Structure 1
């Protein structure tokens, strides 16, 4: 094996790490959260823009936005699947709850095999939280949202770490049910992202092939970063003129790269030197048509401030109307 690119996600990267370390391979990770915090393997690089403190990356914008609201919300319910990614995200969320002075009224995990989320949501509603932070995988995210609507859960701010909401198939199936949710993301069809060199050309080519390939028709979540990861690896191979694992890793560690998702520089534990995890809010979605999701206005970037494309609708209930 000359080159190693991980499968998608924390759970698939976790078992790869010891093997790669044993064989001294350079590993390009695809959207794993805090996979290298334990190992601190020097030749691992993660394209997810989590930054130097990945455990809090999924939640920092969510809780910072909550803390800015007036009057400031006070109580927090946290819930997530009992699996690698949600566990890491919840560790970070708990740190931030303390940092911002919120009071935890619910903090539990559920088995990954869960299919009925209504009892969980009823238990959360009973605590009457101002903030609900969810760390979930795609089926859980959909199930949790449907249960929340069924039960009438209406905190002041809701979302956080829900994987899957950014997939086109989920957006078009959920439609207006997404309105008001504040959730992490890595890319949005808002002006600052559409202005990045090469991204429009990449998306045009990707979308032309997507239907035949049977993949996400818009490709706004994984594809830009998958392509950027390969741009970085390709640039490193060209610069080092070969496939020497250590030379490639040393070059990636030492340099900044120009990609379709912007400038990328790696830092501690192979994470981005400066984090860029977004908080977006779904707003003014009508029906389930795909075209409304192609351009700006439905997934508003709230955080970080330098990429902000609009204002939060607060509380959550206001965005549902």
Structure 2
């Protein structure tokens, strides 16, 4: 009888005991390898979110726990990491690591298990999968391939004289090639003749031959889709060679980061490039200042982006979205959470977020900014307003373009 009573008592209290356990959110993240700086910065932001939520009592009255592994910036590690998170660690949710190249390899597992999947900066990943519970926090818009470069071309076509030709240079990687594909479509839309269109291998160190080849075609516009080391190499080579298009930039990853900004300094002047947040009055979203203040304190000595304007706010925001969906649905049901995210608008540190049916933002907010008036390599120039004019979209505009590039880079 004592044994039966004990079992009965355990059966009655087990659900409550389980409910008191943490809600586990699992992911892989680039903590080593080429994108480790970005991955570590994202992780700081994600840890900040978990701490903020737990201070307020957690989700559904349960503590949040982050479970993560280093994906080494290698797509091949991703399937194993997510299998372990789900089968061994028994996490309640998974979110993605940073970037297209590590999001895509996770998709077959996510789809097989019918999970809600909030992702961090993937370029048009769901174009291949059409998965209904995929959600992407990068603000590219419902047509990610063309929305990514749309602003660059719209700005160019409003200038006088109007450009007629464009050169497209892109790294031979999934993200950059997707960006280049969108640039080709936009060039065609505006009747621009493509005079140069080539990919370069990611290990490229010397960009001078590439820039000389571009210069030989005398393009009005130069659109570059590149990763941080390539972006720095391309910008330095452009100055060395004396490249003189009317507009230069577009899809370069790197000029958003404090380390590259201080490394390049005045070489950035005149470049028109995408961004997702700059400290201009038009982009003062609720909570962003407090987030950045805490992030910047934690970034000191951590070997990550000192300012955190690019990736960290979005790494915080994509967990805000998941957390709000969990609270709203009052449970951990993947389908209910996926349906809720798809149908609702979320308040985050990067503003209001609503998703289109394909999981991209319902409305694009890819900023096009121009670096202006950079006089030195001092970080303080980049920590406040005034040196990155927001040219596009019109709703968020703060400043005007200096055109052409040759005039702006002085």
Report the TM-score, using the length of structure 2 for normalisation. 0.77
Structure 1 residue 242 displacement after superposition: 2.0
How far apart are 1:154 and its partner, in Å?
1.2
| Of 168, 171, 174, the match for 1:84 | 174
Describe how 1:140-155 pairs up with structure 2 within 5 A. Answer: 140-155=230-245
Task: Give the Å deviation of 1:2.
Answer: 1.6
- Find the aligned partners of 2:206 and 2:108 in 1 and give their Cα distance: 35
Structure number with greater CO (CA < 8 Å, separation at least 6) is: 1
Is 1:282 paired with 2:342? no
Please list the CA deviations of residues 93-129 of structure 1 after superposition, one character each: whole Å capped at 9, or x if unmatched. 1111111111111011111121111111110000011
| Whole-Å separation in 2 of the counterparts to 1:302 and 1:192 | 11
Within the candidate set 315, 318, 321, 2:407 is matched to 318
Cα displacement (A) at 1:197: 0.9
1:22 has 2:112 as partner = yes
Give yes or no for contact 2:389–2:399 (8 Å, CA) kept in 1.
yes
The answer to whether the 8 Å contact 2:118/2:318 transfers is: yes
**Match 1:236 to one of 304, 325, 328:** 325
Give the counterpart of 1:113 among 197, 203, 215: 203
Find the residue that maps to 1:270 and give its secondary structure.
coil
How far 1:212 moved relative to its partner? Answer: 4.2
Deviations 1:68-105 (A, max 9, x none): 00110111100101110111111111111111111111
RMSD: 0.9
Question: 1:37 aligned to 127, 137, 145, which one?
Answer: 127
Aligned to 2:397: 308
2:349 to 260, 264, 283: 260
State which of 268, 277, 286 in structure 2 corresponds to 1:187.
277
Q: TM-score, normalised by structure 1?
A: 0.98
Q: 2:297 is matched with which residue: 208, 211, 218?
A: 208
Which residue matches 1:293?
382
Task: Provide the residue aligned with 2:149 in structure 1.
Answer: 59
Residues paired across the two proteins, number: 320
1:162 lines up with 2:252 in the alignment: yes
In structure 1, stretches of 5+ residues that fail to align are none
Q: Aligned partners of 1:12 and 1:286: how far apart in 2?
A: 37
- Are residue 123 (structure 1) and residue 190 (structure 2) matched? no
Unaligned runs of 5+ in 2: 1-90
Instruction: Answer with 1 or 2: which has the greater Rg.
Output: 2
* Cα distance between partner residues in 2 of 1:22 and 1:142: 40
Q: Distance in 2 between matches of 1:60 and 1:82?
A: 21
C-alpha contact (below 8 Å) 2:342/2:357 kept by paired residues: no
Deviation at 1:58, TM superposition (A): 1.9
Deviation at 1:268, TM superposition (A): 2.4
